[in-house]
Structure 1
Amino acid sequence: MNIQRFTAPTAREALAKARMAFGDGTLILSNRPTASGVEVVATGEDTLEALDRNEEARQKQRQAPAKTAPAVNPDSQVIEDTAQLAMSTLSFQDYVRERMLRRRHEAMAVQTTPAQQELSEPPARAAIRPTPTPVARNVSVTPDIAPIQVKKAAPRAPLAAPTAAPSQDIVDELHAMKTLIEDRFNTLTWLGQARQNPIHSNLMLKLIRSGYSPALARTIMERMPEDLNAADATRWVMDVLTRNLRTDAASSAIHEQGGTYALVGATGVGKTTTAAKLAGLCARTYGPASVGLITLDTYRVGAHEQLRAYGRMLGVVAHLAHDRAALQDLLGLLSNKKMVLIDTTGIAPNDPRKRDMMDTLDLPEIHRLLVLNAGGHGDTLDDMVNSFKTTGLQQTILSKTDEAAKIGPALDATIRHQLVLRGVTTGQKVPEDWERADASNLVAMSMRSPAKSAFDPKMTDLGFFFAESTRMQPGQLHA
């Protein structure tokens, strides 16, 4: 196997030496710092191809039925071992493992009891054993010989199985390593090209500092035209974000459209306050009799009283449903209402009660509204969206935008998961602190230069951000 070590003062020079030796199909197996610089261990793609061919030949040789079944000969074992010395270093572990298994079976055969040794003797030796009478020979020898051959052949069949699996695992790991290395080289190449263009570099840094994920930022930047100046490039990026942020701007407002909505989400994101704001908007437009309020929150102390207090302020009665049957009865009672709002218990993604609550809401007339904290961390928002994901249209509301230092992570999650944004809340006033979702205003708000933060990366840190990132799937972004 052609594996070589290259040492240079820097990693870039070591990689250059490796590429000069193996060409474009260079595979980096490892790298480590040394006293004289950086040491890189590399090989070529043809090595993997040769390993695949050798492995296929070995598997065909194992699977091919033997034409004859000769007895085990020590000389043939020596010849086999001599042939195995030509194997590659990667398959040497399989050879050692096979030898250890063979020796273990031989040791177990030596430690068998005298009776087992007598039964395991070959038929030729059993035939010449002295017997008391010819009748005894006909009764005892013949029945023993037939099962002896079956018992000796059975343990030999699976001996080749343990050697094939580890070898295939090694090949799979090498292919996975090859894919990983190619992806990393593509990322490094893309980063190198982006760094040569200061406009790309500055926009990438701005997107990351605004809270957008490396996956979305890379997908956008790879599609940006090359001939744009700084101002046009910034407008182009903001236009792409605006175009991909789905809102209900083309349809009626949610309180004008009406329907039955269940507000779901984590604890403390503002579900009860959001329900009160939507109820207030509908009551102000169509009257208090057009709104129905239901709460399923029997876990949090004072949850029902909070919604009831909002209802008294709006002139609306708030009802409490303990289970699915009570919820169905209340929905039938409030079927003549313009809008029915269901306040639910705050549930964490790993809370065992989440399944029961989602089953309770699994009714055809109920639409779910996922309430997300606009100031949440990107990973937390992703976890919440994946936890409450449903089939069909997914609608969301961003709450507490007035408390968010950056709304980029929330917009990023909305774009990547293709959620429909139905509105945003901007404070605690009911129902005044409610706004319809305006994509251009939200994107402009997210791209404003925030105050300096200890969490903001520098230009030299972009490599760490994009090293593990993968581009979005085709069709998820319209550029």
Structure 2
Amino acid sequence: MNVKRFTARTSRDALTLVRQAFGDDAVVLSTKPCAEGIEVLAMGPEGIQQIERMSASIPAAQPAARPAAARPAAKPAARPAAQPAPAQDEVSDDVARLSMSTLSFQDYVRERMLKRRQAALRAEQRAQEPTFHAEPEQLPVALEQRLAARQSAPVMPAASRPAMPVEAAPPAPVAPVARPQAARHELPGMRDMLAEPVAPVAAMAQPVPSLADAGLNASMATSRREQQDMMNELRSMKGLIEDRFGALAFMEKLQRNPAQAHLIQKLLDCGFSPALIRKLTESLPSDVTDESAWAANVLERNLLTGEAEPALEDQGGVYAMIGSTGVGKTTSTAKIAAAFATKYGAANLGLITLDAYRVAAHEQLRAYGRILGVPVHTAHDRASLEDLLELLSSKKMVLIDTAGMAQRDSRTRELLDMLSHRSIQKLLVVNASAQGETIEDVMLAYQASACKGIVLSKMDEAVKLAPALDAVIRHKLKVVGVANGQRVPEDWHRLSSHALVHRALRANVNPAYRIDADDVSLIFTARQQAQRPRPTLHA
């Protein structure tokens, strides 16, 4: 058998070299890429004839004879005589398959090697199996002969009967049952014979699990595991293909509409969420000349503010400032109290603090109260809070300063339950300089949908105002006031939606955080099942 290796730049050139060396009937064994290009292993057509002669000579070898002790005496030559015929048929089938297609030679060789390995494994397992004094199919015959011998034997007392050779532990001794004297001369019936300890013989007749069954189970488990791995790889490949095609489609869409691409990049740089930007760009008309002005107009119409309503100090009522730690609840309370006292006098104002967790936390509000001439009351639980509300019911405005708690603190729920009085209106104070995800988490934890409105604090510290406005727009909340400093009450304002949106669109983006045009596809080509519901905008 002459096998040669051919290399060329392409498969066509390599097959041409094979055809020149062995002719048109050459047998190609394998092809694979290599450093030169393509590597082909091939041999001449006479190699098939040598393989056929080798295959025909394999069945002539007889299998190794089994030990004489493990083979039944009645059938010593029946099994070896039945072996050559199936093997000859198997070789004939393989030869027929080779005659149909020479390109399947590699599969043929692999299959033949697998069959030989399995045959060797079965032979090794048969050699390792324990041998018995009788074949499994002869056990019922041996049991019959033993029972017949017992029937022809004279009856002996149970105590003098010889014990049968058993491999298991003997059963517990049972007291002999007293029988009539006449029954002792009778032959034992079938019930008496079955009562004898023949259980070990029956246990020997049961099939013994062989090593071949264990190997088969292991191979089946390996096959299932390989199939599962293949399915996981196919799913991963499908996801990569979907992402790639989505990115290509999105980039092609941006190339067809450069105005939309410019708007997306501008809104991303300002800090708006991808969910809001998707909704905006989907509604962008094709005849718009200034996409930035159009987007600002849409955002203004969807941002709710309390500019058209009377101010909080003019409305009056009971208001509780809630929010995370350090967002400016106490300072905002003092600003609203100062604005109210300037218009309506300190006699119509009531101040309550619930901040009993921090050391000297209530002293800050008490200092503002002394400046305004208003006493500050402290409530430790819901009962004392209700008593104070009843005491201050004649006041035009009552402001409640609460303790700052993280949105994931377990005490946040207790605080909200404490403020569930029907006369209390909650105002959620949000740090305008916080990240968008943090603002979203705070609004969900403090149940912003049940609040009277939103107070945006620390406007002077916010580099990007867009994340806070984005959350307010998506949750359809109202901005009742903004705080842009520590001065009381000078830094308390009521801004319009126009002023807030233009303030958000004028953000100065640091070059380190600017998103390039090539990076936009990474944000907007995510698979649909990973997206959250998009907001509803009124264009």
Q: Distance in 2 between matches of 1:189 and 1:329?
A: 64
Q: Which SS does the other structure have where 1:476 is aligned?
A: coil
For residue 206 of structure 1, what is the amino acid of its counterpart?
K
Deviations 1:2-52 (A, max 9, x none): xxxxxxxxxxxxxxxxxxxxxxxxxxxxxxxxx9xxxxxxxxxxxxxxxxx
Q: Does 1:478 align with 2:533?
A: no
Find the partner of 1:268 among 302, 322, 326.
326
Deviation at 1:175, TM superposition (A): 8.0
Higher mean Cα deviation, 395-404 or 462-471?
462-471
What displacement does 1:367 show? 1.9
Report the counterpart of residue 26 of structure 2 in structure 1.
none
**1:171 and 1:271 mapped to 2: Cα distance?**
55
Q: How does 1:309-458 map to 2 (within 5 A)?
A: 309-389=367-447, 392=450, 395-450=453-508, 452-458=510-516
Residues 204, 217 of structure 1: 8 Å contact kept: yes
Q: 1:226 aligns with which of 286, 292, 311?
A: 286
Q: Which residue is equivalent to 2:22? A: none
1: CA distance, partners of 2:395 / 2:232: 60
Secondary structure at the residue paired with 1:414?
helix
User: What are the residue-to-residue correspondences of 1:9-48 with 2, within 5 Å?
Assistant: none
TM superposition shift of 1:390 = 5.1
Over 3 Å counting, the alpha-carbon distance change for 1:177 and 1:251 in structure 2 is: farther
Quick one: which of 289, 296, 299 aligns to 2:354? 296
Once the two structures are TM-superposed, the CA of residue 400 in structure 1 deviates from its matched residue by 0.9
Q: CA deviation at 1:443?
A: 0.3
The alpha carbon displacement at 1:449 in A equals: 4.9
Q: Partners in 2 of 1:343 and 1:313 — Cα distance?
A: 17
The worse-fitting range, judged by mean Cα deviation, of 410-419 and 360-369 is: 360-369
- Give 5+ residue unaligned stretches, structure 1: 1-34, 36-123, 142-162
Task: Give 1:337 shift.
Answer: 1.9
Shift of 1:168: 11
Aligned residue number for residue 214 of structure 1 = 274
Q: Which residue of 1 aligns with 2:179?
A: none
User: Normalization by structure 2: what TM-score?
Assistant: 0.56
Q: Which residue of 1 aligns with 2:365?
A: 307
Number of residue-to-residue matches in the alignment = 348
The 10-residue stretch of structure 1 (257-266 or 435-444) with the greater mean CA deviation from structure 2 = 257-266
Deviation at 1:188, TM superposition (A): 4.5
Q: Is the alpha carbon distance of 1:173 and 1:264 closer, same or farther for their aligned partners in structure 2, counting shifts above 3 Å?
A: farther
Q: Measure how far apart 1:183 and its partner are.
A: 7.0
More moved, 319-328 vs 189-198: 189-198
Cα deviation for residue 284 of structure 1 reads 1.8
Check the 8 A contact 1:298/1:304 in 2, yes or no: yes
1:179 deviates by 7.9
Pairwise CA distance, 1:136: 5.5
Matched, 1:190 2:238: no
Query: More displaced, 357-366 or 179-188?
Result: 179-188
In structure 2, C-alpha distance between the alignment counterparts of 1:140 and 1:243, rounded to whole Å: 97
Quote the offset at 1:451 in angstroms. Answer: 5.2
Distance in 2, matches of 1:210 and 1:220, equals 14
CA apart distance, 1:270: 0.4
- SS of 1:371's partner is strand
In terms of Rg, which structure is larger? Answer: 2
* Whole-angstrom CA distance in 2 between matches of 1:409 and 1:446: 9
Q: CA deviation at 1:409?
A: 1.0
Partner amino acid, structure 2, of 1:247? T
* Counterpart-to-counterpart distance in 1, 2:395 and 2:527: 48
1:345-379 alpha-carbon deviations (Å, 9 max, x no partner)? 11112223222222222222222211111111112
Scaled by the length of structure 1, the TM-score of the pair is: 0.62
Q: Which runs of 5+ in 2 are unaligned?
A: 1-34, 36-139, 151-157, 159-187, 198-222
2:313 to 247, 252, 255: 255
Give the letter aligned to residue 412 of structure 2.
K
Say which is worse superposed, 388-397 or 362-371, in terms of deviation.
Answer: 388-397
Q: How far does residue 250 in structure 1 lie from its aligned partner after superposition?
A: 3.3
- CA contact under 8 A between 1:214 and 1:469: conserved in structure 2? no
Q: Distance in 2 between matches of 1:180 and 1:364?
A: 54
Equivalent-residue separation in structure 1 for 2:416 and 2:497 (angstroms):
30
Q: What's 2:208 paired with?
A: none
- The 1:467/1:475 distance shift into structure 2, 3 A limit, reads closer
1:241 Cα deviation after fit = 0.8
Q: Could you tell me how far apart the structure 1 residues matched to 2:413 and 2:232 are?
A: 38
**Structure 2: which amino acid aligns with 1:459?**
A
Q: For 1:135 and 1:180, how far apart are their aligned partners in 2?
A: 73
Residue identity over aligned pairs, in percent, reads: 46
Q: Distance in 1 between matches of 2:232 and 2:476?
A: 35
Aligned to 2:169: none
| Distance (Å, rounded) in 2 between the aligned partners of 1:246 and 1:136 | 98
